Amino acid sequence: MATPLQQLMACTTVVADTGDIDSIIRLKPVDATTNPSLILKAASTPQYAELIDQALAAVKQLPASAQLPAALEAVSVAFGAEILKHIPGVISTEVDARYSFDIAATLAQARRVIAQYRALGISRDRVLVKIASTWEGICAARLLEQEGIRCNLTLLFSFTQAQAAAEAKATLISPFVGRILDWYAAKTGETYTSETDPGVCSVKAIYEYYKAVGHDTIVMGASFRNTGEIRALAGCDKLTIGPALLDALAKESEPLTAQLTAESIVPRPRLAELTEANFRWQLNQDPMATEKLAEGIRLFAADLEKLEGLLAAKLA
């Protein structure tokens, strides 16, 4: 009999949310995602020291002032390239969170990242550039998609962000489930079931709207706290899940069935396209999304600074 993980893989594309290559080899996901926190965790372990040293070799030939920024990109691409050897699908590589409000810097780094992958013989079709779902990030994604650089809009906590991302024709969005639950649990003190989990409900609403109005943007639920959330979103286009929860799901005995099906959704008209003013106002009116977006950017930026410290020591 198939395990719940195998049943999930039958109705949803499973994506490994990790920078640990050994876990990816073992779990055999279709795609994989990384972020600064995951890269920092992987880069801090001895087993990836050689990979990092190889990535830094060319960087050391640059002027001293250019080495550290180039090192961050080189290491992210090195992990991505290594992961791609073990999966059939795509890797998501994140743009510096400190560029979340800078369109020009986001565009420049996204183009450099894609150029580095191409220098390694990796087609842009196998890479998604991850960008925070700020207004500036969404604007950058719109331009990149027009150039053929596919984007994953991350740190997405609201329907407003999802609507704007689809209108920008982003390839994929990563609506966060667990971080939404964290916020509501802390604010209300309530215990939520998988059916009432506000993170699950958010992703369902986005998925149903996309399918009802014909948006092509892929919905990839992210940031899970338990297997109940995963089960409640089975059938979603994609789900990116950490190794611990993938292992837990594989060991469960209760069968898993698809909860989301595009075929059952009734078509309806699209909402009026968001202007910048409307986007900012609607986001401002959602304290959870406003707080979690800002917090997510800060946390990723902090881990980037830690990673910089690690790489600076190796470059010295």
- SS3 readout for 115-171: HHHHHCCCCHHHEEEEEECCHHHHHHHHHHHHCCCCEEEEEECCHHHHHHHHHCCCC
Query: CA 282: distance to chain centroid?
Result: 23
Q: Considering 41, 60, 130, 169, which one is annotated as catalytic?
A: 130
Nearest to 151 by CA among 72, 203, 95: 95
Go through 246-272 and write b for each residue having 16 or more CB atoms within 10 A of its CB, e for each that does not: bebbeeeeeebeebbeeeeeeeeeeee
Question: Nearest 5°: phi and psi at 100?
Answer: -60, -20
Tell me whether residue 314 is one of the annotated catalytic residues: no
* Residue linked to tokens 């992703």: 203
Here the tokens at position 80 are 């991505």
Here the tokens at position 54 are 């190889």
Nearest to 260 by CA among 287, 238, 289: 238
Sign, CA dihedral 6-41-200-175, equals negative
Angle subtended at Cα 262 by Cα 260 and Cα 266, rounded to the nearest 5 degrees = 115
- Those residues whose C-beta lies under 8 Å from the C-beta of residue 158, and which sit 6 or more positions away, are 202, 282, 283, 286, 288, 289
Please name the residue ranges forming H helices in 175-270: 178-188, 198-213, 227-232, 243-251
The torsion defined by the Cα of 305, 311, 315 and 316, in degrees rounded to 10, comes to 60
- Those residues whose C-beta lies under 8 Å from the C-beta of residue 170, and which sit 6 or more positions away, are 138, 141, 142, 145, 151, 152, 153, 217
Residues annotated as catalytic (active site), given as ranges: 130
